[in-house]
Amino acid sequence: MNPQVASEDNPYHAMEARLDLAAARLGLEPNLISILRTCEREITVSMPVVMDDGSVNVFEGFRVQHSTSRGPAKGGIRFAMNVNREEVRALAAWMTWKCAVVNVPFGGGKGGVVCDPFKMSKGELERVTRRYVTGIMDFIGPDRDVPAPDMGTDGQVMAWFMDTYSMHSRNYLPASVTGKPISLGGSLGRIEATGRGVMLCAREALKHLGMNPKECTVAVQGSGNVGMISALQLASIGIKVVAMSDVHGALYNENGLDLAGLRKHMQVQRKLDGFKGGDRLSNKELLELSVDILVPAATENVINSRNAAKIQAKIIVEGANGPVSAKADKILDDKGVFVVPDILANAGGVTVSYFEWVQDRMSFFWTQREVEERMERIMVDSFAATVDMAQRFGESNRIAAYMLGVDRVAETTRMRGIYA
Ligand code: GLU
C-alpha cells in the first residue's frame, strides 16, 4: 500500500486491509496474494453525448474486472457524480469475494459513469447508457462480464443496456445483463432480493444471539431500493423500524415508522422531507441511535474511526458495500458488535442475478417461490458457514467471510495455474 495515498476513506485500501488479514490467516502463498490484490482489467471510456439543449457533454465511464477466476465478472453499474476509478476497483473486488462467499459461479466486476442521473432527462440517460455500453462492448457479454444495477441505475437502464448489447451483437442476448424488467427476461424476486437477503441475515443473526425479532428495533440508513426493501422486509418479521434516512437527513419515531405511508410519500416526492410521521434527525444521529439493529444501506465509510465508538446497535447488517472502514472494524469488534459484513449481508442481490442469468440462458423461468426458496437456502447456508468459520478461527465475521471467499478464489486461481 502506498502510504502517500493510504487513507481510511480509500475503499480499495479498505478492501486490501481485509484481504491481507484473511490471506495471512489462510496462509496463502505470496504470489497468489499479489494476484488477488490486483484487478485483471480496467477500462475507461469518454463518452460524448448530445444533451437535450443541443450542447455536447463528455462523460467519463469505467468498467473494472477484478477477477474472472471462478466465472464471468459480475457486478453493478453506478451512475453518480462522485464515482471514481479507485472506488469502482474496490467495488469490483468486493463483488469477487461476495460471489465466492455465496458460491455462485462468477468473478467480480463493477462499472461507473460520472453523471447525476437525477438531473438528467430520460432521453439523456438513455443516450449515456447506450454510449457506455458501446464503449465497453468488446469486454463484456454473458460469458465475460455481466453488469447489473447499482446506485443510480435501475431496470430501465438495464433494458437499454440489454437492447444496445443485443443490437450490436445481432442476437437476442438477455443474459448480457441482470436486473432487467420481467418482460425482458428479468427474474421474479430480483428487485426485492438485496433487501430480502438483509432481512434473512438479520433474522439469522438474531437467532444466533438468542434475540426475539418482535422485541427488536432497527434503524435503516438509506431509503433507495436496498434501504426501503430492507425496512419492509425487516418489519415483515416483526422488527420495529424506528428510523430511516435519505441523503438530506433522517426520520425517527420510537413507536415505529409508518412504512407504507413513507414509501408512498417517497414515490411521489423522491425524498423523506415533508413526511409527517416522526422527528427529524441527521444521518449522523441515526447511526448513533440506541437500537438493536443498524442497517447502513447507503454508501461507503459511514461508520469510521470518528464515530464507531458511538455506535449503540448490537447488530450491524451491511446493506451497502463498504459502509464500515477498516479502522472501525477493530473498534466495533472491541465493543462486541455483531457485524454481518457486506459481502454476505447484501449478497441476496447478486444471488438472484445469478438465477436471472441461468433462467435467461435456459429461456425457462422460475416462480417467485422457487427463486425465494433457492435464495433463502443460499443465504442461510452462507451465514452459517461464515459464523462457523469465525468461531473456528476466533476471527470477526468480516474476516471469516473474506476467508471463505478468498479461499475459494485462491483455489480456482491455483488450479488454473499461471498461463505464460
Ligand atoms: N450492485 C449489486 C451489488 O453490489 C448487485 C450486483 C449484481 O447483481 O450483479 O451486489
Predicted confidence (pLDDT) per residue in 210-220, tens digit:
999 999 999 99
Predicted confidence (pLDDT) per residue in 370-385, tens digit:
999 999 999 999 999 9
**Segment 106-124 mean pLDDT:** 98
| Number of the ligand 1 atom closest to the C-alpha atom of 78 | 1
* 4 alpha carbon – ligand 1 mean position (Å): 31
Answer yes or no: do 138 and 214 share one domain.
no
Q: State which of 124, 142, 173 marks the end of a domain.
A: 173
* 29 alpha carbon – ligand 1 mean position (Å): 29
Asked if the structure places residue 387 within a domain, the reply is no
Q: Is 74 a catalytic residue?
A: no
Answer yes or no: do 164 and 299 share one domain.
no
Bin 381: left if φ > 0, else alpha if -120 < ψ < 50, else beta.
Answer: alpha
CA nearest to 107, candidates 139, 62, 61: 139
Ligand 1 pocket member 150 (CB < 6 A): yes
Question: SS3 for 70-89, per residue?
Answer: CCCEEEEEEEECCCCHHHHH
Ligand 1 pocket member 351 (CB < 6 A): no
Residue 102 near residue 351, CB atoms below 8 Å: yes
Ligand 1 pocket member 321 (CB < 6 A): yes
% residues pLDDT > 70 (the chain): 99
Answer yes or no: do 264 and 306 share one domain.
yes
**How many independent structural domains does the chain possess?**
2
Question: Can you read off the three cell numbers belonging to residue 99?
Answer: 460471489
Beta strands per DSSP E along 209-323: 217-221, 240-246, 249-252, 279-281, 293-296, 315-317
* 43 alpha carbon – ligand 1 mean position (Å): 19
| Number of the ligand 1 atom closest to the C-alpha atom of 150 | 1
Alpha-carbon distance of 187 to 87, in angstroms, equals 28
Give the full edge-to-edge strand order of the sheet including 108-114: 41-50, 56-67, 108-114, 73-80, 145-149
* 76 alpha carbon – ligand 1 mean position (Å): 5
pLDDT of residue 7: 82
Answer yes or no: do 139 and 235 share one domain.
no
Answer yes or no: do 152 and 223 share one domain.
no
Ligand 1 pocket member 299 (CB < 6 A): no
Mean pLDDT, the chain, integer: 96
pLDDT of residue 5: 44
Which residues, listed in sequence order, are joined to residue 172 by a DSSP beta bridge? none
Answer yes or no: do 196 and 283 share one domain.
yes
Asked if the structure places residue 398 within a domain, the reply is no
Residue 264: phi and psi, rounded to 5, are -60, -45
| Number of the ligand 1 atom closest to the C-alpha atom of 91 | 4
What CATH number has the domain bearing residue 284?
3.40.50.720
Q: Is 6 a residue whose pLDDT tops 60?
A: no
In DSSP notation, 99-117 reads HHHTT-S--EEEEEEES-T
Cα separations in angstroms, 409 against 139, 172, 377, 385: 21, 31, 22, 16
Ligand 1 pocket member 342 (CB < 6 A): no
| Number of the ligand 1 atom closest to the C-alpha atom of 346 | 10
**Segment 387-413 mean pLDDT:** 98
Answer yes or no: do 167 and 196 share one domain.
no
Answer yes or no: do 76 and 200 share one domain.
no
Ligand 1 pocket member 283 (CB < 6 A): no
Q: Helix (H, G, I), strand (E, B), or coil: what is residue 358?
A: helix
* 218 alpha carbon – ligand 1 mean position (Å): 24
**Segment 188-213 mean pLDDT:** 98
User: 6-15, 300-309, 326-335, 388-397: which has the minimum mean pLDDT?
Assistant: 6-15
Q: How far is CA 121 from the centre of its chain?
A: 26
Query: In testing the pocket of ligand 1, which one of 95, 198, 357 has its CB within 8 Å of the most ligand atoms?
Result: 95
Which one of 110, 180, 240, 314 is the catalytic residue?
110
Alpha-carbon distance of 142 to 353, in angstroms, equals 12
Asked if the structure places residue 299 within a domain, the reply is yes
Alpha-carbon distance of 299 to 328, in angstroms, equals 15
Answer yes or no: do 336 and 207 share one domain.
yes
Residue 301 near residue 322, CB atoms below 8 Å: yes
* 290 alpha carbon – ligand 1 mean position (Å): 30
Ligand 1 pocket member 178 (CB < 6 A): yes
Q: Is 4 a residue whose pLDDT tops 70?
A: no
- The position carrying cell 469510521 is 304
In DSSP notation, 267-322 reads HHHSSSTT--SSEEE-HHHHHTS--SEEEE-S-TTSB-TTTGGG---SEEE--SSS
Alpha-carbon distance of 318 to 194, in angstroms, equals 11
Asked if the structure places residue 59 within a domain, the reply is yes
Q: Is 193 a residue whose pLDDT tops 60?
A: yes
pLDDT of residue 420: 82
Q: Strand 293-296 relative to strand 240-246: parallel, antiparallel, unpaired? A: unpaired
Residue 117 near residue 95, CB atoms below 8 Å: no
Residue 100 near residue 408, CB atoms below 8 Å: yes
Answer yes or no: do 124 and 90 share one domain.
yes
Asked if the structure places residue 32 within a domain, the reply is no
Residue 63 near residue 43, CB atoms below 8 Å: yes
Asked if the structure places residue 81 within a domain, the reply is yes
**Segment 286-297 mean pLDDT:** 98
Ligand 1 pocket member 11 (CB < 6 A): no
Residue 100 near residue 412, CB atoms below 8 Å: no
Asked if the structure places residue 408 within a domain, the reply is no
419 Cβ contact partners less than 8 Å away, ≥ 6 residues apart: none
Answer yes or no: do 223 and 337 share one domain.
yes
What CATH number has the domain bearing residue 73?
3.40.50.10860
**Segment 18-27 mean pLDDT:** 98
Ligand 1 pocket member 297 (CB < 6 A): no
* 150 alpha carbon – ligand 1 mean position (Å): 6
Q: State which of 173, 206, 237 marks the end of a domain.
A: 173
Answer yes or no: do 93 and 211 share one domain.
no
**Segment 23-28 mean pLDDT:** 98
% residues pLDDT > 90 (the chain): 97
Ligand 1 pocket member 346 (CB < 6 A): yes
pLDDT of residue 3: 43
Alpha-carbon distance of 61 to 43, in angstroms, equals 8
Which residue type is seen at 419?
Y
Domain range for 114 is 39-173
Q: Strand 217-221 relative to strand 145-149: parallel, antiparallel, unpaired? A: unpaired
Alpha-carbon distance of 60 to 84, in angstroms, equals 9
Asked if the structure places residue 116 within a domain, the reply is yes
